[in-house]
Amino acid sequence: MTPSASAPLLSAAVVDTGTPPIPEAQAWVARYDGRHGPLINLAQAVPDRPPPAPFMGRLAEAAADAEATRYGPILGDTQLREAYARHATGLYGGRLAPENVAITAGCNMAFAAALMLVAKAGDQVILPAPWYFNHQMWASMLGVAVRALPCRADAGFVPSPDDAERLVDGRTKALVLVTPNNPTGAVYPPATIAAFADLCRRRGLWLVIDETYRDFLPPGMGRPHALFEDERWRANVIGLYSFSKAYGIPGYRLGAMIADALVVAELAKILDTVQICPPRAGQVPVAWGIDGLATWREENRRALHRRAEAFRRVLRQCPDWRLDSIGAYFAYVRHPFGAAPAAAVAEALAVERGLLALPGSYFGPDQDAHLRMAFANVEAATIEAIADRLRGFILP
């Protein structure tokens, strides 16, 4: 329907932002005829295992409690804020208290609130590219310009603070890091994170660090970073986290933010007007699960690394396809079709071979050589079948 000349206009900032890409990719599989076996869906980062019975029992009990139907505190229930502050202190060191924690409706909500707090229309933020597309989409809808910080395969897709500093100008308000990274799986070394923190302090920028996949760091790796040991973090660092992946509850929409207490107080204005309070029922079992599911989460971490090893073995059987990066939930794979657009390669793989991956072009500029494959979605036996889907594949 064509609007009349007098019809009100939609926000150009929203209309000009690209549509969510995952539904577009999922639509391709409707044309797959099943000739190569069941669909292998490597598109969305979804934990394939529900929480164990002790957690589910507490979840059912909490959901049946009338208290869960009522509004809760804007910043989240005290029990969960206290539990997460203790956990984060043990993980990172430093001195984190409940007043440094806000609970949100997922980590997407946490990022949205953080960006609203530190930037306004006309400002600029730096995102490592390839980036998580929801981050770029939200900035676009706020009218915040994004500058791409290129991450290169030959550097393990770890961004360079020196490269970032060259992008800083008078409009730049914040720099965002995502580690382990979505879409590449790259893990940023603690020294690199510290160097970015130094850069942001020197240049008066906010450092927003998204650690949604923190629970899937390589076994044996120590703490992710030491940002919160240095009390200077309070002036310009905001940490983001998701309970979705590690606890197997993406549908319950729970995330967390760490910031100085004065910053959290300002965040409360945003959270109150957008979500009023985070979802109630999941907060009680998650507060228990921070300690109660520690062993289960560690088993999941090791299982994910076994899947990563299986994926590496598969790619060695497909020498035309190059594994440029892998970690957490993701493999970032270079396809063998030269200048062919990644979207064309991904669509053909879905339609012809029943293998659904996301094109690198969904994740920012200059990514047409790659596909993102979320191997956490499938068991190791299914990962082994990927080789048959890739071998002999010819782009139509």
Is it the case that residue 44 has pLDDT exceeding 90?
no
User: Residue 17 has what pLDDT?
Assistant: 86
What's residue 219's pLDDT? 81
pLDDT tens-place string over residues 316-344: 999 999 999 999 999 999 999 999 999 99
Residue reference for tokens 């020498």? 319
Instruction: Tell me: pLDDT of 70 over 80.
Output: yes
**Torsion angles phi and psi, residue 73, rounded to 5:** -60, 145
pLDDT class of 313 with cuts at 50, 70, 90: very high
Of the chain, the percentage scoring pLDDT greater than 70 comes to 99
pLDDT of residue 47: 85
For 12-50+295-390, CATH number out of 3.40.50.740, 3.40.50.300, 3.40.50.720, 3.90.1150.10 equals 3.90.1150.10
The 3-state secondary structure of 325-381 reads EEECCEEEEECCCCCCCHHHHHHHHHHHHCEECEEHHHHCCCCCCEEEEEHHHCCHH
Q: How far apart are CA 135 and CA 77, in angstroms?
A: 27
Domain parsing of the chain, residue ranges:
12-50+295-390, 53-293
Quick check: 354 and 385 in contact, CB under 8 A?
no
Q: Determine the average pLDDT of the residues in 361-377.
A: 95
For residue 379, is pLDDT > 90?
Answer: no
- How many separate helices (H) and strands (E) can be counted in the chain? 14, 13
CA atoms of 284 and 84, how far apart (whole Å): 12
Task: Tell me what the mean pLDDT of segment 103-129 comes to.
Answer: 97
CATH number of 53-293: 3.40.640.10
Average pLDDT taken over every residue of the chain? 95
Given pLDDT bands bounded at 50, 70 and 90, which one contains residue 16? confident
Label residue 5 by pLDDT band (50, 70, 90). Answer: low
Is residue 235 within 8 Å of residue 207, measured between CB atoms?
A: no
Question: pLDDT band at 3, cuts 50/70/90?
Answer: low
DSSP code of residue 20 = P
Whether pTM exceeds 0.85: yes
Distance CA 60, CA 267 (A): 30
Rounded Cα gap, residues 239 and 258, in angstroms? 5
